[in-house]
Amino acid sequence: MKKSLLVIALIIIAAGIINVFFGPEPLNKADAAKQLPWKIEITPEGNTRVLDIEIGATTVQQVKKLWNVAPQIALFRSPDGTFRLESFLGKVKIGPFQARIIFNLQASQELLKEFAENSSSSDATPSGSHQLRLNGDDFERAMLLTIDEMSYSPAVDTEVDMLSNLFGAAPDNIQVDENSSYWLYPQRGLAILVNTEDKEVFHYFPPRDYEQVLQEIEQLKQTKPEIITAENDAEQVTE
């Protein structure tokens, strides 16, 4: 039977024992709410704030300090020659929940091409892309880049009706295959990959990037969801 994020959260809050990942002190209710993945705020600048970070403004370095984590960063070259830069946290505990978290980093293709030219290794990944290892200097530069998308895959599974209670009815929906579909909340900067055979994935982005996210979803319909591929790839990534 699936566990419910909401039920777990209510039990923890009622008991007054919600702890941050890096400290033993219990959070007050206002701070605890910031650590819940369904508590989403759109800032005056048009960014998406969730889990106490601001998608579209927060850097990887800031996440490292805020969550007391050791991010890994890797550069990927797609079969068509385009690059993307991702940061992986593996499985971490943010607030009351454990989750796997992947950040997409904002960077020009010119900068990523420079990183690729400086890289000394390239490995094929299950998704068909190639993973390039950043050198030390480029890793430090990448730590200062802004997060423009975040994928959050909770360790607990969530029933479909509970997702509806937490996030409301999705304004739009894209069917991926017979087992999975994306619930789209463009005004909240959220797309949820709902899978009857696997755990859900919450994908956060600034609402202004909604059309770009739609394009990414259409591309992912032809492959495995990137969050799954990236988890496998992340095991190969080191600083």
Over the stretch 104-131, which tens digit does the pLDDT of each residue have? 999 999 999 999 999 988 899 887 889 9
Question: Could you give the C-alpha distances from 97 to 92, 101, 138, 143, 162, in angstroms and in order?
Answer: 8, 12, 32, 25, 16
pLDDT-based confidence at residue 14 (cuts at 50, 70, 90) = very low
Q: In the chain, what percentage of residues exceed pLDDT 70? A: 79
| Highest-pLDDT range among 38-52, 164-178, 215-229 | 38-52
**What is the mean pLDDT of the segment spanning 161-188?**
91
Query: What pLDDT, on the 0 to 100 scale, is given for residue 7?
Result: 40
In DSSP terms, which residues pair with 174 in a beta bridge? 182
Terminal Cα-to-Cα distance of the chain (whole angstroms): 38
pLDDT-based confidence at residue 179 (cuts at 50, 70, 90) = confident
Q: How many C-beta atoms lie closer than 10 Å to residue 160's C-beta?
A: 12
Question: Could you give the C-alpha distances from 226 to 49, 70, 179, 206, in angstroms and in order?
Answer: 22, 21, 16, 19
pLDDT in tens, 81-103: 999 999 999 889 988 889 999 99
Rounded to 5°, the CA angle 234-230-210 comes to 135
pTM for this model (two decimals): 0.80
Query: What pLDDT, on the 0 to 100 scale, is given for residue 121?
Result: 87
Question: Could you give the C-alpha distances from 158 to 35, 86, 132, 154, 155, in angstroms and in order?
Answer: 17, 26, 34, 9, 10
- Among 22-36, 184-198, 199-213, the range scoring the smallest mean pLDDT is 22-36
Question: Could you give the C-alpha distances from 223 to 122, 128, 157, 218, 228, in angstroms and in order?
Answer: 21, 10, 22, 10, 11
| Tokens coding 133 | 């290892």
- CA dihedral over 59, 65, 68, 72, signed as positive or negative: positive
Query: What pLDDT, on the 0 to 100 scale, is given for residue 173?
Result: 92
Q: Do residues 73 and 139 make contact, with C-beta atoms less than 8 angstroms apart?
A: yes
- Which one-letter amino acid corresponds to residue 140? E
